[in-house]
Amino acid sequence: MVCKKCLENPAITLPNSNISLCKSCFFKYFERKVFKTIKDYKLIEQGEHIGVACSGGKDSTSVLYLIKKFSEKRKNITITALAVDEGIKGYRDTSLESLKKFCDKEKIPLHILSYKESFGKDLDSIVKKFPRPCSICGVFRRYLLNKGSKNLGFTKLATGHNLDDEAQSIMMNQFRSNMKVSARLGPITGIVKNKNFIPRIKPLYFLMEKEVAAYAFLKGFIDKYSECPHTNTSYRGNVRDFLYDFEAKFPGTKHNIVLSFLEILPLLKKNQEYKGSLNECEACGEPCSQKICQACTYVETVVKKI
């Protein structure tokens, strides 16, 4: 895989190895790894309509680009980008602008669903009353992505989750004894087949965050770093910092977390199949485990009180 340019002009050293690759060899390596994940785990098959959850960030833009590339060599795969507009000035407005440009250029249809239209208020207004909005924001985002996927007729929804995200989720669930949630991880999710819940796929599952950042940078997908102004030092943030620290001291840690998790995942799924029943929310019909879903509960208890 190593060429003359790799030796003279290396752009990145692959994680857990001393192989350094030039830009074009790195593209090949990266794309091969993503396509292999798609094939090995049957993430995308003939005749599917794949939705891609996009934020304008490095991960989802790379996924969108690569799924399009994957589908070009095959017939019968439709792609649509789906974005959520939380209503965060100075952050999401700019990232959605670059997403729109990207979709125009790549000729991919884009749908945007906003908190304001769907729930009555944008996130900037919610924050004024609830200064730590990440939990509401996460529930609303997942809700709109699932509902939007159904309305648009997606067979699956692809997300930009990378190996770092997965390793963090695995450790968080471990630390908090939340195996029910872990059973829903993996390159393709959905424990119980339920037509109300659109399966999620993660084509970047085996690529580290640094590799994705390098890919997006080299492809010119990202022009400026931006950070949500409402982000708080979350539990995830702590686990992330801890894993970065550990990875620097013990290279391979994150890969090993994910690989060992994949070994036990079938057992976890099996175990949860018996317990996991999915109801429909009595107010909106979306899948949930109680009578009323989390999004409807937040609308009643938070949004309507603003």
Binding stretches for other proteins (CB under 8 A) = 9-13, 15, 20, 23, 57-59, 91, 208-210, 212-214, 217-218, 225-228, 230-231, 240, 244-245, 247-248, 251
Among other proteins, Zn ion, ligand SF4, none, what binds residue 119 when CB lies within 5 to 8 Å by partner kind?
none
Among ligand SF4, Zn ion, other proteins, none, what binds residue 49 when CB lies within 5 to 8 Å by partner kind?
none
Task: Compare residues 136 and 157 and give the one whose CB is closer to ligand SF4.
Answer: 136
- Minimum CB separation from other proteins for residue 245, in Å? 7
- Minimum CB separation from ligand SF4 for residue 127, in Å? 8
Spatial CB neighbours of 247, under 8 Å, sequence gap ≥ 6:
253, 254
Among ligand SF4, other proteins, Zn ion, none, what binds residue 22 when CB lies within 5 to 8 Å by partner kind?
Zn ion
Binding pattern to Zn ion, positions 7-26, x when CB under 5 A?
A: ---------------x--x-
Q: Coil, strand or helix: which one is 257?
A: helix
Among other proteins, Zn ion, ligand SF4, none, what binds residue 5 when CB lies within 5 to 8 Å by partner kind?
Zn ion
How many CA atoms lie within 13 Å of 100's alpha carbon, on the beta-carbon side? 9
Per the CB < 8 A criterion, the answer to whether 172 and 239 are in contact is: yes
Task: Compare residues 37 and 146 and give the one whose CB is closer to ligand SF4.
Answer: 146
Among other proteins, ligand SF4, Zn ion, none, what binds residue 133 when CB lies within 5 to 8 Å by partner kind?
ligand SF4
Q: Coil, strand or helix: which one is 60?
A: helix
Binding residues for ligand SF4 (CB under 6 A): 86, 123, 133-134, 137-138, 228, 230-231
Per the CB < 8 A criterion, the answer to whether 34 and 66 are in contact is: yes
Asked whether position 281 contacts Zn ion by CB under 5 A, the answer is yes
Strand 200-201 to strand 156-158: parallel, antiparallel, or no bridges (unpaired)? parallel
Spatial CB neighbours of 203, under 8 Å, sequence gap ≥ 6:
34, 37, 38, 43, 63, 66, 67, 158
Helices 92-106, 58-72: crossing angle, 10 deg rounding: 10
CB atoms within 10 A of CB 33: 16
Among Zn ion, other proteins, ligand SF4, none, what binds residue 138 when CB lies within 5 to 8 Å by partner kind?
ligand SF4
Among candidate residues 131, 188, 132, the one with its CA nearest the CA of residue 156 = 188
